[in-house]
Amino acid sequence: MTALAERAVSALPAPRGPLSACVLAALRDGGPPRDLPPVRDPYGEDEQLTLYCLYELHYRGFPGVDAEREWDLDLLRVRQALEREFLTALRAEVHPSGLTVVGTGNVPINRDFSPGAMIVLISV
């Protein structure tokens, strides 16, 4: 890794609530997430920060967190549950206006097709 790439890697953020505290503790300690609280607000800072951290494992990772954690089944299950809650909430808000979420994905932002921004495809 180059010096520039090393600087680009962010440290683990401070938790914003019980869910991110649980997942961040698991990332720091190397163990599975324990005593996960329920999702309270799919749009809330706690849940969104948790999703960001779980996605970041697949991009640059975090200093002090084993790169293999990106494929940790417990963390992938947490991410899947959060994605499901978020998309369910999004669909519930979008459907009344006649729009339909038809898919999600990552948009490449570089010529080398490295991962980019998350998108939500909406059909009218």
Using CA atoms, how far apart are residues 27 and 12, in angstroms rounded to an integer? Answer: 9
A 10 A CB-CB count for 101 gives: 15
The pLDDT of residue 97 is 55
Both tokens assigned to 20 = 């991110």
The pLDDT of residue 100 is 58
The pLDDT of residue 124 is 46
Both tokens assigned to 61 = 């990772």
The pLDDT of residue 30 is 94
The pLDDT of residue 72 is 96
Within the chain, which residues score under 70 in pLDDT?
1-8, 95-124
The pLDDT of residue 90 is 85
> In the chain, what are the domain boundaries?
3-95
**Helix, strand, coil share of the chain (percent; to 5):** 50, 10, 40
The pLDDT of residue 64 is 93
Using CA atoms, how far apart are residues 102 and 121, in angstroms rounded to an integer? Answer: 6
